[in-house]
Structure 1
Amino acid sequence: MKVTLDDVVFETRNKEYGAYYLRKNYRRYLTRATVMGTGLFCLLFGAALAFNKIQDANREKVTYVIVNPFDLPQDDPEPVVPEELPPPPLEESPPEMAEEKFLPPEPKKDEEVLVEEPPPPAEKLEKAIISNKTVEGAEAKDVFIPPAPTKEVAVVKMEPVAEDEIFMGVEQEAEFPGGLNELMKFLKKNVSYPAAAQRANISGKVILQFVVEKDGTVGQIKVLKSVGFGCDEEAVRVVKAMPRWSPGRQNGRAVRVYYTLPVSYTLQE
């Protein structure tokens, strides 16, 4: 009995262990796997080769011939003769129109000539009778009939303006001397930023409402939106120091009118 290397290695060990069995049968398994793989490869290769041969047998053989176009016989094209167009039809001359000759005027008798009466003089119109009815016995040329009124004129009665009434909006608004630009310049020049607001880093917009009286003076100042920290008081002080305004007007009369003015406080960065 031939002793192999596996028998020597596993002589003192349990030969029922899986490693001894695998090493003992390794060569046989390798040979079997090689034969089976080679056979399967040959089978697939032969099947593919047979499939290609069958396809080639069923495919029609096409022969391609390369032809040089210059080798082909060329026939000279026949010249194209333009077709002669028929001459246009002759236009018919317009029909001759009969000419009318100027006929000399025919003299008529004085009785047959219609004479238009001239308009009556102004003196006669002043003495004419004015009426809206036809007067029997009077000639139509001496009677003047005025046209009937087409539309009634409505008389609008102007309501009196109360002396102490304060208007929110009027026909002509109250105006600072010089206009809005001068008002902005006045505020920028006279409004001082309160120190308390600067220390607290406060900015905002104070909205005031006041009344412009009939003589242009400013009164009844109210703070509609407050900022605080002395900003409201400073804005009221500047408004009280304003010069006289141009008063608002309603129906051509000077009236009392409300005016709303925003005063902005912005910190310089």
Structure 2
Amino acid sequence: MKTNFLLLFALMLTSLITVEAQNRLPYVLRGDVNGCDTVYTLPERKAEFPGGMNAMYEFLNENIKNSVNFVPAMSSHRILVKMLINSEGTIVETKLMMPSATSLDDELLKVFSTFPDMIPAQYGNRDVCSYLIITLGYE
């Protein structure tokens, strides 16, 4: 009897979590931050670097003065970058969420400030502000 109750409880809890995930809003409301009053965390199409991810890695490798090589594959050395991209494609905020704790961090932030305008995220066939999180592996 106790086992049946625990099984039923676990099943109900799983159902509630599934319903909550399905009802999750695709955006986070914030005050006006760099021209973005609504930031989409689940856009229908994510923001992207012009030319795609491979072009972004090429841009990073060409512009970083440090002797590292950024690679698309995961490696033991990783940096997690979070960018806020407005509806025009401009990067208005860049944060290192998982920094390397080296001089590479400052250099990376400088290079991100020179990025060309991104292709903005879309939701409902319109360009929207969104977060883009990128994991950079390096050798």
- Band the TM-score falls in, shorter-chain normalisation: 0.5 to 0.7
Kept in 2: contact 1:193–1:265 (CA 8 A): no
> How many Å separate the matches in 2 of 1:252 and 1:261?
24
Structure 2 unaligned segments of length 5 or more: list them: 1-26, 30-35, 68-75
Partner residue of 2:19?
A: none
Identity percentage over the alignment?
A: 26
Q: Which amino acid aligns with 1:213?
A: N
Q: Which has the higher contact order (CA 8 A, sep 6+)?
A: 2
Partner residue of 1:204?
A: 77
Secondary structure at 1:164's aligned position in 2?
Answer: strand
Picking from 59, 71, 77, the partner of 1:186 is 59
Question: Residue deviations 1:42-91, cap 9 Å, x none?
Answer: xxxxxxxxxxxxxxxxxxxxxxxxxxxxxxxxxxxxxxxxxxxxxxxxxx
Q: Relative to structure 1, is the Cα distance of residues 211 and 174 closer, same or farther in structure 2, using a 3 angstrom cutoff?
A: same
Question: Residue deviations 1:108-128, cap 9 Å, x none?
Answer: xxxxxxxxxxxxxxxxxxxxx
> How many Å separate the matches in 1 of 2:97 and 2:41?
15
State the aligned residue count. 98
Question: Residue deviations 1:180-230, cap 9 Å, x none?
Answer: 221111111112227xxxxxxxx8222110111111110221111111221
CA RMSD of aligned residues (A): 2.1
Kept in 2: contact 1:213–1:255 (CA 8 A): yes
Larger Rg: 1
> How many Å separate the matches in 1 of 2:53 and 2:136?
13
Kept in 2: contact 1:166–1:255 (CA 8 A): yes
Q: Which amino acid aligns with 1:252?
A: N
> TM-score, normalized by length of structure 1?
0.34
> TM-score, normalized by length of structure 2?
0.63
Q: Which amino acid aligns with 1:208?
A: V
Partner residue of 2:15?
A: none
1:217 matches 2:109: no
> How many Å separate the matches in 1 of 2:102 and 2:51?
31
Structure 1 unaligned segments of length 5 or more: list them: 1-160, 195-202
Shift of 1:245: 0.8
Shift of 1:263: 2.9
